[in-house]
A and B are shown apart, each in its own frame.
Chain A
Amino acid sequence: MYFFKLISTLFKVNVQMAVAYRTDAVVNIMLNLMWLGWELLGLSIIFSNTQTLGGWGFGELLALLGIFKIVHTMMMTLVWPNTEKFNLAIRDGSMDYTILQPVSSMFLVTFSRLNIWRLWDLPVAAILIIIGINRAGDVTTPLSILYFFLLTACGAVVIYSLWIVMIAFTFYFTKFDNNVTLLQALLDAGRYPVSVYPPWLQVIVTFIIPIAIATTIPVRGLRQDLSHAQVFMFIGIAIASFIVASQIWKAGLKKYSGASS
């Protein structure tokens, strides 16, 4: 309850900041529409040349694009603005004020800035997922749709945890501005099923920077490619990575000694 109140307050503050820049809303919506058109064109070019991509049909790739957009929105609304603020706070010492507050510092650091206008992509993602599931049609059941949503949530938690670990490294090496570039760079790999990539790239996007867990795995759940045990394994991975990340954050925070000392 307490956290919901906190989130809604932070949300209100960020909406107030965002409405000061209304033209940005129009520009962002236009850019988002343009990229959506581009992505659909790309998919239609691919499927005018082939029936399946890595064993997946058009509907499944639409659903994948939807999930990709969710992860992408998470990067744009949450990860980038907060990382920018955090890097600055480490360098100029304003991190002191965050730690003084009686709330989890990890929560404050990761949720204090929201790039509101980018959230527009979320309804688009939802529409893509619904159309995608419909077109994939015969392979889905209510259970597989439930798995799909569970696994999407797990993927978001895994990416969130990885982000925490990356920014926690900033406590050790003060000048570590590139902390999330690596994540953003590999994000594009989430647009297509991992099975199309060469083995070395599959290893990177599954185990090192697990973009594939956040994008490909939910669609595999939807297609019932995963056994029940595997679904529970991924839920376990999400919980474990969150616990590990918050421990690394706590250890990193102990290293922080302000900017002047």
Chain B
Amino acid sequence: MLLIFKRLWQVNWAEQWQYRANLFMYIFYWLVSPIIYLAVWTSIANANGSVSGLTANDFITYYMILLICDQLTSNIILHLFAYKVQDGTLSSELIRPIHPMLTNTLTNDIAFKTLNMIFLTPIWIVLALLFKPDFASVSINGILLAIPALLLGYAINFLLSGTITSLAFWTTRVFSIHEFYYAMILLFAGQFVPLKLMPELIQNIAKFLPFQLFMYLPIQMIQGNLSSTEIMQGYTAGAAWFVVALVLFRWVWRAGVKRYSAVGA
């Protein structure tokens, strides 16, 4: 199995490496909205002194850490996989004795992520020089605590995106369905604003959803803002959602593959 992953990695890494110019545009595209939110909230914090106890520096560090967390927990499965169902190229992958999505697509996504991180690092340093964040609240303990949360976040996001992508077996409108999913992340993951500033109702719903594990919880752990009970709650909800996402994914995938009849067959 390890050998399979090694080979898949070599192929997918080489494939992703071809599209360096596109990658640069992608990163640029993806960077703009966090930077806009950063600018909006620091300007509000500067004008009013602070926003619900958060200073301008808190917002700057929040969004600087968010850039990394978002990059680590997000995925591009939809773009890697949905077209294969629609044009029938999935057939050749289905006859292999390995799970197409959990091996090939997974390594391709990780290759893409690795390359992204390589591009992002210098850009991140330039941004840090421009915004001058003070990372005094960040501790090694916080970072160590956040690593399992980021892994769990990536796993849950991967399985849920995989489930939505598998809907391509039934409909050609997966991109629209995924747009709803993306809006949920925007709302409940703390991308627009730290969840703390959201209306009470949304905060309470977010506690029972997996999305805050993608960005908000890891960022708060790195910043050292959570009590140990809050951390436990976050991890428990995350573990429960991981099981739910796994069951859901396996169920939809199986039903989908049964329905699949390649184009032209």
Measured CB to CB, the residues of A under 8 A from B are: 23-24, 27-28, 31, 34-35, 38, 41-42, 45-46, 49-50, 52-54, 178, 181-182, 184-186, 188-189, 191-192, 195-198, 200-201
Known: A35-B183, A188-B33, A189-B32. A45 touches B199 (CB 8 A): yes
Identify 24 residue pairs between A and B in the complex whose beta-carbon atoms are under 8 Å apart, listed by A's number. A23-B173, A24-B173, A28-B176, A34-B179, A34-B180, A35-B183, A38-B183, A42-B193, A45-B192, A45-B193, A45-B197, A45-B198, A46-B44, A49-B197, A50-B44, A50-B51, A53-B40, A54-B43, A181-B25, A181-B29, A185-B28, A192-B36, A195-B43, A196-B43
Task: Report whether over half of chain B's contact residues are helix, strand or loop; otherwise say mixed.
Answer: helix
What B residues does A191 contact at CB under 8 A? 36
Residues of chain A lying within 8 A (CB to CB) of residue B44: 46, 49-50, 53
Contacts of B35 in A (CB 8 A): 201
Other contacts beyond A182-B25, A188-B36: 13, CB < 8 A: A28-B176, A49-B44, A49-B48, A50-B47, A53-B43, A181-B29, A185-B25, A185-B28, A185-B29, A186-B32, A192-B39, A192-B40, A197-B36
A-B pairs with the 9 shortest C-beta distances?
A196-B43, A185-B29, A50-B44, A178-B25, A197-B39, A27-B176, A49-B51, A181-B25, A185-B32
Min CB distance, A239 to chain B, in Å? 29
Query: Using Cβ atoms and an 8 Å threshold, which residues of chain A touch B193?
Result: 42, 45
Contact across chains for A196 and B28 when beta carbons are under 8 A apart: no
Residues of B within 8 A of A (CB): 21-22, 25, 28-29, 32-33, 35-36, 39-40, 43-44, 47-48, 51-52, 130-131, 173, 176, 179-180, 183, 186-187, 192-193, 197-199
Q: Report the minimal beta-carbon distance from B29 to chain A, rounded to whole angstroms.
A: 4
Inter-chain CA distance A56–B183, complex, in Å, is: 27
Across the two chains, which residue of chain A brings its CB closest to B28?
Answer: A185
Q: Which A-chain residue is minimally distant from B131 (CB atoms)?
A: A198
Q: Are A46 and B40 in touch, CB under 8 angstroms? A: yes
Q: Which residue of B lies closest to A196 (CB)?
A: B43
Q: Check if A52 sits within 8 Å of B47, measured CB to CB.
A: yes
In the complex the two chains form, is A178's CB within 8 Å of B21's CB? yes
Of B22, B48, B131, which is within 8 A of A50 by CB? Answer: B48
Give the complex CA separation of A38 and B180 in angstroms: 11
In the complex, chain B residues whose CB is within 8 Å of the CB of A186: 32
Task: Say whether B180 contacts A42, CB under 8 Å.
Answer: no
* Chain A residues, Cβ within 8 Å of B51: 49-50
Which residues does chain B contribute within 8 Å of A192, judged by CB atoms? 36, 39-40
Q: Is the CB of A184 within 8 A of B29?
A: yes
Nearest CB on B from A89, distance (A): 21
CB contacts (< 8 Å) of A35 on chain B: these are 183
For residue B130, which residues in chain A have a CB less than 8 angstroms away from its CB?
198, 200
B39 touches A198 (CB 8 A): yes
